Each structure stands twice: as C-alpha cells, then as structure tokens.
Amino acid sequence: MGWLGRENAMKRWGAMLMLWGQAALAACPALLNHSVPGLMGGQINLCQYADRPLLVVNTASHCGFTPQFTQLESLYKQYGPRGLMVIGFPSNDFFQELDKPSEIGAFCQANYGVTFPMAGKGHVRGADAQPLFKDLIAATDDAPSWNFHKYLILPGASKVISIGTRTKPDAPEVVNAFLPYLQPETQAAAKP
C-alpha cells in the first residue's frame, strides 16, 4: 500500500472514530447528561445508566420513611445484576439528614447495609435544587414533597415516573414498571 493508500485509510479511520464519538455523545439523553458528586468522593456519571432503568431517590437518615433503605437495597441486590440501578440523593431539604457525608455513609451502611451508589448531599427542590432534580421535576411536573420521593427513569429516558414517598420502593406498581426493561435472569447469571 502506497502513501496515498495509507493516508486514505487513516482518513477513513479518523472519520469512523469521529462518528463513533458523536454517536456515543448522542446516546446520552439530556435528562441523564449529569455528573454528580459521590457521597464519599468521585463522580457519578448518569450517562452510563442510559441503557437501563434508574431509580433516583431523595433520602434522609432521620425520617419515618428511612426504613425504605431496606427495600431499596433489596431491589438493588435482586435486580441490579439484571440492569436496575438505584442511586440515593441525601438531602436536608426536610431537615432530617445528617451533616457530614461520612456520617451519612456510616449510618446507611451500619443500619441498612446500603451498597448502592449515594450521591453527595444536596437540594432536591426549589431554586437551589440540583440540576438533575430540576430536570426530573420538569419532566414529571412533580417535585418531592418529602423524603424518599422516587423517580423511575426508564431506559433512554424514554419515560420518567414520579413515585410518592408513601409508595414503597418494592411495591408491585414500581417493580412492574421497570421489570420489562431488565435482562432475563438466565442472561444476567451468565455474565461474569
């Protein structure tokens, strides 16, 4: 292959890489185009969950609904291997959250065995709400009115379902909403 052949091949590869990069960017719906701080550091890039159901929950450590952490963890353990992602968003908007990230993390782990990702503490309603929550509120016309308000984001952000505080995370209507989007059990078990 002469120089011109190599140059054309390089141009083709470059064009393919550019198209692939643009396709990867286009694959992230605007609703999920957020990176949020993790509770104990690092970042949680929500784009990585665009292909699966995502359950977003505003949490608090000292609330009558705090035992919902048990159901959230159970969902994560049972359905996580098949594609469900659960992310907790601690908030003191209702004056029931601990002050320090280390306290929140220790409380969730010690009392509820939480292993699903937790975002950094922030606002979930009002003018100071985190951008993700502003987008979720706009998509559903429903802002959290208390702790443990849940948003189920279906793959590709094709639909967002607002789920009130009193509805348990493992309620049939919640599970039945995300179940069709999960991998079959046998396929999930075969993955390393």
On whether residue 53 sits in a domain, the answer given is: yes
Instruction: State the Cα–Cα distance between residues 120 and 138, nearest whole angstrom.
Output: 22
Range of the structural domain that residue 120 is part of:
30-190
- The tokens describing 79, both together, are 């359905």
On whether residue 78 sits in a domain, the answer given is: yes
Give the CATH number for residue 57. 3.40.30.10
On whether residue 16 sits in a domain, the answer given is: no
Q: CA gyration radius for the chain?
A: 20
On whether residue 68 sits in a domain, the answer given is: yes
Residue the block writes with tokens 């608090």: 60
Bridge partners, 36 (sequence order): 44
Bridge partners, 89 (sequence order): 58
Q: What is the pLDDT along the chain (192 residues), one digit of tens a residue?
A: 554 555 555 555 455 444 444 444 458 999 999 999 999 999 999 999 999 999 999 999 999 999 999 999 999 999 999 999 999 999 999 999 999 999 999 999 999 999 999 999 999 999 999 999 999 999 999 999 999 999 999 999 999 999 999 999 999 999 999 999 999 987 655 554
pLDDT for 22 equals 43
Global pTM? 0.84
On whether residue 23 sits in a domain, the answer given is: no
- The tokens describing 77, both together, are 């353990």
Q: Which residues, other chains included, contact 98 with Cβ-Cβ below 8 Å and sequence gap of 6+?
A: 61, 62, 90, 104, 107
Assess contact for 46 and 33: CB atoms under 8 A.
Answer: yes
3-state secondary structure of 41: coil
Which residue out of 28, 47, 63, 108 is catalytically annotated?
Answer: 63
Assess contact for 140 and 161: CB atoms under 8 A.
Answer: yes
Phi-psi domain of 42 (left: phi exceeds 0; alpha: psi -120 through 50; beta: other):
left
On whether residue 148 sits in a domain, the answer given is: yes
Instruction: State the Cα–Cα distance between residues 97 and 37, nearest whole angstrom.
Output: 17
Q: 63 catalytic, yes or no?
A: yes
On whether residue 150 sits in a domain, the answer given is: yes
Number of domains into which the chain is organized:
1
pLDDT for 31 equals 97
pLDDT for 25 equals 47
On whether residue 1 sits in a domain, the answer given is: no
